[in-house]
Amino acid sequence: MTDTTIAWILICTFISNSAYALVAPFLPLEFADKGISSHYVGLIFAIYSVAVVICSPCVGMTVSKTGTTNLISTGVAIMGLSFICFGFIGGMESQTQILSLGFTLRFIQGCSSAFVQTTCYSIACNDFPEQKEMIVGWVEAMTGVGLIVGPIVGSALYSFFGYANTFFIYGSFLVFLALIIKCNFPEKKENEERLAEIKTLLLEGYSERDT
């Protein structure tokens, strides 16, 4: 169970950061074709991080109540849906509509990233206190790997499938992944129950030995 949990938080961290960087190679080009200045493109990238800054403390306060599986699966699902919606921007001509939807969806993506990343760090620090330095290091490493792989995947999808289909494909993948996470991500409560069962068995064993 421990190894499974670590693997899942690394995968989720990787996916979250690759999603952030996925649009970097082609979004400025697409927006330039629609007459939108690079200044606004920079702000669209920046608002993602603004959302992370705003949402992360709120997520941190609700992890114990909401549950790690619920937060991560919800975050990945919302990110996927916002990616799918982002694909419809390609058919818009109004700069006002493009920018309004672009800012809104990137902000939502940032919030969903906060759901995933904050929860993963919480698991790394709280569920593995004796290994937290090592696991946090791996989480940071997967953050970098995601930022490297994201633009590569984005460029490949854009080259083969075009603007809209890139978002539809990746967004659908994220929604499907959210379902897998919901069904398979090990909840902390399950770990605690198993530990309690083991302790009970040990105590019973000692009691029988003493009698």
Tell me the whole-structure pTM to 2 decimals.
Answer: 0.83
pLDDT in tens, 92-127: 989 999 999 999 999 999 999 999 999 998 888 888
pLDDT in tens, 72-96: 999 999 999 999 999 999 889 899 9
Which whole number is the average pLDDT over 18-23?
Answer: 94
Domain count, the chain: 1
What pLDDT is recorded for position 195? 47
Return d(Cα 164, Cα 211) in angstroms, integer: 72
Residue 43 pLDDT class (50, 70, 90 cuts): very high
Pair 9, 139: CB distance under 8 Å: yes
What pLDDT is recorded for position 211? 52
Q: How far is CA 155 from CA 24, 133, 179, in A?
A: 9, 34, 26
Which whole number is the average pLDDT over 120-147?
Answer: 89
Pair 7, 120: CB distance under 8 Å: no
Range of the domain at 8: 2-210
**What contacts 92, CB < 8 A, 6 or more positions away?**
34, 98, 101
pLDDT in tens, 144-203: 999 999 999 999 999 999 999 999 999 999 999 999 999 888 766 444 544 455 456 555
In CATH, what number is assigned to the domain containing residue 180? 1.20.1250.20
Residue 33 has pLDDT above 80, yes or no: yes
